[in-house]
Amino acid sequence: MKHHSSPALRPPFPLFHELDRPGIHDERIRPALCALQVACHVLKVSVECRFTASCLLHRFVAVQVVSIDQDEWQWITMACLFLAGKVEEEPRRLRDAINCASMITIPAQVLNEQETIGDSTQTHEELKTINENLGSFKKVRVQWNSSPPELDDAYWDAKRRIVEKEQFVLRWLAFDVSVSHPHRGVAAIVNHLVDCSPQWFGIVTPEQLVHQAWTHCNDALFSSQALSYPVMTLACAAVSITLRDRNIEESMEEQDWWKHFSVPKDKAASNT
């Protein structure tokens, strides 16, 4: 496993180059990622905790090679969020994690296509058919229960499953749960732009730029390739898209702001 020299700057998903078919990976993981975003909203976690949970799920799907029952994926997804809460010092009650896991249903036949996808003898047309079939399961069905689960045997079984899945994920990740975040890089870039070009912040506030760029960082969670770039490159790309959306990109280019963060212009532009 290759990592960036600095843990604080390494790519959020350093396993990308070990994937045989990145596009298939993204299709397989998308329903679980969608369910995870719903759970993050319900539990009201921060943007960085959401990012960490999603990256842990990406890494787990990339390295696990055992067959997992479909009904286990909602517990694995919730275990990633439960673990991310601890990593980012935003722990949530195990009871709340159990409630979310019981509310969210991940579409069937999505993440367990491993035996079929892993066949290196498949033709391009066969892979295209698999990709189309996976695409039909992108919707996430959320079941809202009127009351929390009763404190019966089923609850204690669910508690046991989440704790077991948390340990299961940790072992597959070799207990490496550190995730670098582009969101802090975005804030640093916007602060630099305020110092270099304060005249533009009468049109748009720094807070607006930061939040819009954070949205683009969150969109990157659905692309394993985007997550394979160092965090400052990803942050520069998110800010570049935001400046383009605001029609002030060309004016900001005169400041060569990306050089201040040791990111070549073509790298930031190519990642947008």
Whether the predicted pLDDT of 139 surpasses 70: no
Whether the predicted pLDDT of 222 surpasses 80: yes
Strand-pair category, 141-142 with 104-105: antiparallel
Per the structure block, which two tokens stand in for 53? 């949970």
User: So what's the pLDDT on residue 190?
Assistant: 87
Q: Which residue has the tokens 């305020």?
A: 194
d(CA 268, CA 253): 12
User: So what's the pLDDT on residue 268?
Assistant: 56
d(CA 51, CA 55): 6
Whether the predicted pLDDT of 152 surpasses 50: yes
Instruction: List phi, psi (to 5°) of 21.
Output: -135, 90
Whether the predicted pLDDT of 146 surpasses 60: no
Whether the predicted pLDDT of 136 surpasses 80: no
3-state secondary structure (DSSP) of residue 164: helix
Instruction: List phi, psi (to 5°) of 131.
Output: -60, -40
Per the structure block, which two tokens stand in for 137? 């399961």
Are the C-beta atoms of 39 and 100 separated by less than 8 Å? yes
**5 or 32, which is more confident?**
32
User: So what's the pLDDT on residue 79?
Assistant: 92
Confidence of residue 115 (pLDDT cuts 50, 70, 90): very low
Average pLDDT over residues 11-36: 75
Q: Distances in Å between the alpha carbon of 45 and those of 88, 90, 235?
A: 10, 7, 21
* Average pLDDT of every residue of the chain: 75
Verdict on whether the full-model pTM lies above 0.85? no
CA angle 87/145/42 to nearest 5° reads: 30
| Strands in the chain per DSSP E | 104-105, 141-142
User: So what's the pLDDT on residue 118?
Assistant: 38
Q: Which residue has the tokens 């992108």?
A: 138
Q: Which of 21, 38, 31, 29 is nearest to 56 (CA)?
A: 29
DSSP-H helix ranges across the chain: 22-43, 47-63, 73-87, 94-103, 114-117, 124-135, 153-172, 182-196, 206-219, 231-245, 249-253, 265-270
Confidence of residue 89 (pLDDT cuts 50, 70, 90): very high
Whether the predicted pLDDT of 213 surpasses 80: yes
